[in-house]
Structure formats: C-alpha cells, structure tokens
Amino acid sequence: MTTQAEERDTLRADVLVVGFGKGGKTAARALGQLGRTVVLVEESERMYGGTCPNVGCVPSKGMVHHSRLRRPQDDPQAFFEQAVTKVQAVREFMRKGNYDSLNALETVTIITGRAEFTDPHTVAITRQGGERLTATAETILINAGSRPVVPDVPGLRTSAHLVSSTDLLERTRLPKRLVVIGGGYLGLEFAAIYRAFGSEVTVLARGGRFLPRVDADVADAVRRVLSGEGVEIVLGAHVREVRDGDEGAAVVYDLDGTEHSVTADAVLPATGRAPHTGGLGLEAAGVRTTDNGAIEVDEYLRTSRPHIFALGDVNGGPKFTYVSLDDSRIVLDQLIGDGTRSTADRVAVPNTVFLTPPLATVGMTEQEARAAGHRVKVTRENVADIVAMPRAYAVEETRGLMKFVIDADTDLILGAALLSVDAQELVNTVALAMRHCIPASDLRDAVYTHPSSTEAFNEVPTVVVHEDART
C-alpha cells in the first residue's frame, strides 16, 4: 500500500529516461518539445550529455589535436598541462550546454541520482546526499551506457598505476612511461596521443595479428605509422602480472615462451567495455539481459517489457555515439512515428580511429567479402602515390593508404579502409555511396573541389591490385 509520504515523493511522467547519453537526451528533448512530460535521471552531474562530450569522443579528439601542435622546443609537461586545461574547458562548456538545453524545457525534469527499478514502471532514485524519491512512467528508456573492462591480471586492479581512459583525460601530469594492455582501437588512439605529447609508450597486444578487424595490408600500414612515431608494439604478448615498485609498475608478460617486463608510470587496460547494467534492478522490472550483461532488445529496441526500450551501449550494439543517436530515431518512430524504422535499416555504418592520420573503415574487409561469396576486385594505393590528392602534400601528411573492396560483377562498393588525412570525413561519402548503391565508377567519375582529399576518389578506384577470376 502506498503511503501519503511516498505519494508526495513520487514523480509521475509520460516518459522516464535513465541515463543522459546521446540517445536518451535526444529522445527526451524531442518528446519534451511535443509536450510529453519527461523525467531524466543521471547518476553523475559529471555525465550530463553522456560519455562522448565528457569522457569520450570530444575530450580524446581534443587531445589528439593538441598533441600534434607540440613543437620540439616545448616542455612536454607544461604543454600537456595546458592542453588538458583547454580540453576540460571545452568539456565543461558542452556539459553545461547539454544540461541547459533540456532544463529549459518546462516538460522535462532532470534529477541527479542513482536509479533502480522497483517494478516494471517505477524506479527508486537515490540522490548524492541520501535523499530518496520515486519516479514512475508508462514508457521507460534505458540509456545507461557502458563501463571499461579491467582484465583479471594479478596485481592490475590494485596497482597504484592503473588508469582508465577517463583518468588519462583528466590528469594534468604527463606519464613518462605509458603501457597500454590491448591493441584495439581505443588503446591505439591513446598510445598515439601520449607518444605525441612525449611519453614513452608500449602497446602489449595479445593477438599474433595486429588489428584483426581490418585486412593485413591495412593493419601493416597502421603499424608502420605508429612505429614511425616511436610507439613500441609487442604482438603476441600475454600479460601475466603487474607489480608495483619504487620505480613504477612492472608489467610482466610472456612472449614466445620467454618472460619479459616493462616498467610504467601509468598502465591503461584497453580491453573493451561492458554494458553498465549492474545496480539497475532489471530483475524487478522483468527486463532480460544477455550473458555479458547487455539488455536484450528486438530490432525496434524494445526489451522483454514492451514499454521499456534500451538505447546505446547498454543494449550491446556497436558502441558509437552516432549509433546511440540512431537508436533514438528508432525509438521515437515507435513512440510518435509509424513504427517501421528498425536496426535492420542500418547499413554501411562507418568507424574511425583517430590516429594521425586517421583510420576510417566501412563495410566488409577483403576477407569478409570473399567469405560472403562475392567475386572481388580490390583497388589500393598509397597516399604518397595518389596524384589526384595534392592536399596530402599541401598539409604535409602523405602517410597511409586507401583501399576499396568492390564487387567485380556489380561494381558496387562492399567496403573501404582509408588511412589518410581527412579519412574521418571521406568515409562518410563512401558510406553514403554504399547505402544508395552508387557504383564505384560513379564515385570515381564525380566532380570534387580542388585541392581536396575527396579528389583521391577520382583515382584510387582505378588502381586495381587484384581481381578474382570468373568461375
């Protein structure tokens, strides 16, 4: 039975949003502007706007930018501290903007506190000072994000030198020696950033192949770029132990049956992220999760409770801000549209690793295309050899390559890997062409501004390095 005190402390809304991420805040704003009452609960005031503007994309790319501005005569520590201060100022500006844009809507109520389901329509909210209240709604959106995974390596979790990507983005002390455990995209991005700032960087990658999600020729090109910058990359390293000592943390690893050790001031595990579902009380809501803790959803992002949706990293999909944004479009279509949009509509979703130069990929690799039964034509050219791309020489960045995987029978682009200046922008053009079934020859024959990086498309699709024989 509900008491009068509980009634007074209960917020009732049309929609309850748990988490201030990209998908949740976008849906909250759209619904609030339509007059729906919305309660948005965020656990930390430091996370208004979600991971990207606070501890993810925006600050890390800001650090990429500033790291490339350092001159040989600049003091590494002083320059680094100045860069962190500037990046944090941008972060605070964006955090405030995210909060104010929603708080300005009379229909939206923002509460800072930890939410836990008590039944399928209700969450208990605990504020920082211990105050408790309840929120209930007919429709609930869960946008709780993800958390870093720390591998179960003896001594790692208790090491005084353990850092997360968030820690690195907020500390003003430049580590002299950084060890990155894991050779994935996040780890390589931070390795490149801190090497450019002046840290000694070692990447311990467990797999025998570097960047296994791209073709070997592309991975080799990335490795050459990073090695040329001074990043030490150890392939096939199995980390056994982390031992703190007077000189820092000794990271002990096996390589080809022999024990090795490298000492670090900071140790960054870059071994993935897991959905942030712990403590949400999903059992009380009747919301099912997968073995890895992700919330089970259908193609419309409905959970096992049809009135509850899961958006962004928490549903186990691709962990990109722009995917979370697209999740909000799918959910809004269910709530205020015709209900036809789904995750099945998502094709040719691009991805960028912000190295220098960036690595951007979309679609299938060469190996994946053949495995899918396509007869493949592969075109590839080193950036330094692309005559049609003078911008690379103009900005003094000629490292990298461009590669297209094309269906030899239809001339449709199956995938591309672009390791080049402006790749983060170029890949969007390729992805658009793929979504709309524009042939590679049309991309080749289009008129582009000059001098631009896009002009490379006038040439690269013609440089055929392999074409499967007809059967």
Burial of 272 (0-12, 13-18, 19+ CB in 10 A): middle
Residue 188 exposure: Cα atoms within 13 Å on the Cβ side = 24
Q: What is the separation of C-alpha 302 from the centre of its chain, rounded to a whole number of angstroms?
A: 23
Burial of 391 (0-12, 13-18, 19+ CB in 10 A): buried
The set of residues, in sequence order, having a beta carbon less than 8 Å from that of 82 and lying 6+ positions away, is none
Neighbours of 286 (CB within 10 A): 13
Residue 192 exposure: Cα atoms within 13 Å on the Cβ side = 27
Taking a C-beta distance cutoff of 8 angstroms, is the pair 423, 366 a contact?
no
Taking a C-beta distance cutoff of 8 angstroms, is the pair 398, 423 a contact?
no
CA nearest to 9, candidates 125, 140, 128, 139:
125
> Any idea how long the chain is?
471
* 116/135 Cα distance (integer angstroms): 10
The answer to whether 450 is a known catalytic residue is yes
* 469/471 Cα distance (integer angstroms): 6
Neighbours of 238 (CB within 10 A): 11
**Position 152, amino acid:** D
Taking a C-beta distance cutoff of 8 angstroms, is the pair 191, 277 a contact?
no
Residues involved in catalysis: 450
